[in-house]
Amino acid sequence: MTTLTVFHEDDLSKAQMEVTEPQQIERVLKEKGVHFARWPTRDLPTAASSDAILSAYAGEVERLKQQWGFQTADVVSLSADHPDKAAFRQKFLDEHVHSEDEVRFFVRGQGLFYLHLGEQVYALLCEKNDLISVPEGIRHWFDMGPEPEFTCIRLFTNPEGWVASFTGDDIAAKVPRYEALAGATT
């Protein structure tokens, strides 16, 4: 279940708020400048190719490109049997920022976005049907869990794709990880 859990920097072990109603999640995040929406998904095979996925969502991808100026779209997919899953997980676990919006639409599975906004951390467990756009410059990180299972469409204004600037802040290590938050909601 899509879940937004909010923590305060003063006590990152205890949630201040937990929200599971999509419209309320959308409102809370909108107040912070983060776009969240629920979109319908298509029935595609688990092993659908990137081209098949992009073709199935061509209308939505084109609309986002026109609306927000994205130049490219691709598909990222990871499963629990991937031999490099631990290295991929580690790559995204440290707080970082981007010089463009980070947009993900979950076609399959789930993952956990953490947004460090002021003195709070917003942990958004995204799942199939969820679209999130993290504005450029917002400190965040992503946890796919130890046994990742997800497929996402990613959109970029930079044709080079995902480029991060790490902040050096160790806050990501202090907030409950995927195992604690995703496990509590399923």
CATH of the domain at 120: 2.60.120.10
- Sign of the CA dihedral running 92, 164, 141, 104: negative
102 is in an annotated binding site: yes
Q: pLDDT digit of tens for each residue in the chain (186 aa)?
A: 999 999 999 999 899 999 999 999 999 999 999 999 999 889 898 889 999 999 999 999 999 999 988 888 999 999 999 999 999 999 899 999 988 888 999 999 999 999 999 999 999 999 999 999 999 999 999 999 999 999 999 998 876 656 788 999 999 999 999 999 997 543
CB count in 10 Å sphere of residue 73: 21
Q: Which domain holds residue 64?
A: 3-185
pTM of the model: 0.93
Q: CA-CA distance, 146 to 63, in Å (whole number)?
A: 34
96 is in an annotated binding site: yes
Domain count, the chain: 1
Query: Nearest-5° angle of CA 48, CA 81, CA 91?
Result: 95
